[in-house]
Amino acid sequence: MAEAHPITDAERLDRLRLIRSEHVGPVSFRQLLARFGSAGSALDALPDLARLGGLRRGIRVCPRTAAEREVDTLARAGGRLVVLGEADYPAPLAALPDAPAVLSVLGRPELLARGTIAIVGARNASANGVRFAEAMARDLGRAGFVVASGLARGLDAAAHRGALATGTIAVMAGGVDVVYPRDNERLYRDIAATGTVLSEMPWGQQPTARHFPHRNRIVSGLAQAVVVVEATLRSGSLITARLAGEQGREVLAVPGSPLDPRARGTNGLIRDGATLVQGADDVIEALGGLMARPAARPEEAGPTPSAAGFAEPVEAPDHVRKIISNLLGTAPAGIDEIVRQSGLAAREIALVLLELELAGRLQRHPGGQVSLAFQE
């Protein structure tokens, strides 16, 4: 979604309003912009699209005053809003089909333009794991890389500490101002002063369980590679590793004792094809021996994934909506499979899915899958 010209202040505010409106997610945000050309036109179209998707009441559109208040609050805290499509938006993240529509940024936004490695791992980390993660982050920082993680207890915090002097990015699950866990508050303040803190969530948003996988996709999406130091079999770090693989990032893991439950996840990653690493030099070697370099600007990174099917205006007939609704269920299904089974044009399907999502009847999943949303 590279822009041919700078985004105006009015368009930036409208894009914030669009993503803060009811049922609008990162994928539908891109589709709406691709279809209508501007956030203002997309905002005007939301009520009709949601009605066609089956919403029986008016969709809640973010008021201009609420968006202005969010921007002003962030600015008073010394932060800024970076919108998808701007030159300052991190290029690796912009290439994702579910890239965050907006990022609230505190600290040093210039770090977002540098080569980045993500280090993640267990919250209940071993002493050796903490020491290893901190040392690896320090060594990668000295090699010129920025280190990204999620500010969780244990290995995330260790990675941030190791890279404080050279540059680290903390991705928050809630609002950029909401420190979680609270015992990392001092570290949070250190990162805000010398590194970068960012979030796609509104200011003041308290994190909930469903926010953490979304946070994880940003951690991996910012990076050239993701290093998992310790992880149990049910660890959120394995979710980050899976997302990294889907995003085309290098997945690397530190081996551990088979007797330690915290090594079962990392050992499993290695068994399944992740690169075994024992230090920063192994990480650099896995990246082709290249030292850190600035991330490619959007115009250098190639075209970002398009919102398929919206090159031309299209209206979906009722019989098309019925066919697609019959193919959807509560189990996730690939959009490509829906195209194959329905025999319909991809752009018609994309439009109907957009209508259903704006009506709150569709849930999107990683890997281009969708399902009917649970209706209470």
The 10s digit of each residue's pLDDT in 138-149 is 999 999 999 999
In a domain, 246, yes or no: yes
Q: Are residues 239 and 166 in the same domain?
A: yes
In a domain, 162, yes or no: yes
Q: Are residues 80 and 115 in the same domain?
A: no
Say whether pLDDT at 308 is over 60. no
Say whether pLDDT at 310 is over 60. no
Q: Are residues 50 and 130 in the same domain?
A: no
| The predicted structure's pLDDT at residue 366 | 78
> 313: pLDDT confidence band, cut at 50, 70 and 90?
very low
- pTM: predicted TM-score of the whole model, two decimal places: 0.90
pLDDT tens sequence across 358-374: 999 999 987 789 999 87
| The predicted structure's pLDDT at residue 1 | 45
The CATH number of whichever domain residue 145 belongs to comes to 3.40.50.450
In a domain, 332, yes or no: yes
Say whether pLDDT at 309 is over 60. no
In a domain, 305, yes or no: no
CA 65/CA 161 separation, integer angstroms = 38
In a domain, 196, yes or no: yes
Q: Are residues 189 and 266 in the same domain?
A: yes
For the chain, report the end-to-end CA distance as a whole number of angstroms.
36
Q: Are residues 230 and 333 in the same domain?
A: no
In a domain, 17, yes or no: yes
In a domain, 240, yes or no: yes
Residue 51's domain comprises 9-96
pLDDT tens sequence across 165-191: 999 999 999 999 999 999 999 999 999
pLDDT tens sequence across 249-292: 999 999 999 999 999 999 999 999 999 999 999 999 999 865 55
Q: Are residues 196 and 83 in the same domain?
A: no
Q: Are residues 199 and 269 in the same domain?
A: yes
**DSSP character string of 284-321:** HHHTTSPPP-BPPPTTTS-PPPP-TT-SS-----HHHH
Mutual angle of helices 318-327 and 346-358, in 10-degree steps: 80
Q: Which of 96, 121, 143 delimits the end of a domain? A: 96
The dihedral sign for the CA sequence 197, 182, 190, 235: negative
The two structure tokens encoding residue 367: 């890997």
Q: Are residues 140 and 264 in the same domain?
A: yes
Q: Which of 65, 20, 60, 32 is nearest to 351 (CA)?
A: 32
Cis peptide before 181 (omega within 30 of 0): yes
Q: Are residues 65 and 142 in the same domain?
A: no
Say whether pLDDT at 195 is over 50. yes
Mutual angle of helices 236-246 and 261-271, in 10-degree steps: 20
Q: Are residues 189 and 58 in the same domain?
A: no
CA 103/CA 83 separation, integer angstroms = 6
Q: Which of 77, 96, 115 delimits the end of a domain? A: 96
In a domain, 297, yes or no: no
Please state the φ and ψ torsions of residue 269, each to the nearest 5 degrees. Answer: -60, -45
Domain count, the chain: 3
pLDDT tens sequence across 66-119: 999 999 999 999 999 999 999 999 999 999 999 999 999 999 999 999 999 999
The CATH number of whichever domain residue 337 belongs to comes to 1.10.10.10
Q: Which of 278, 270, 287, 269 is nearest to 224 (CA)?
A: 287
Q: Are residues 251 and 353 in the same domain?
A: no
Q: Are residues 166 and 129 in the same domain?
A: yes
pLDDT tens sequence across 205-234: 999 999 999 999 999 999 999 999 999 998
CA 106/CA 53 separation, integer angstroms = 37
> 19-23, 100-104, 315-319, 350-354: lowest mean pLDDT where?
315-319
CB–CB of 173/211 below 8 Å? yes
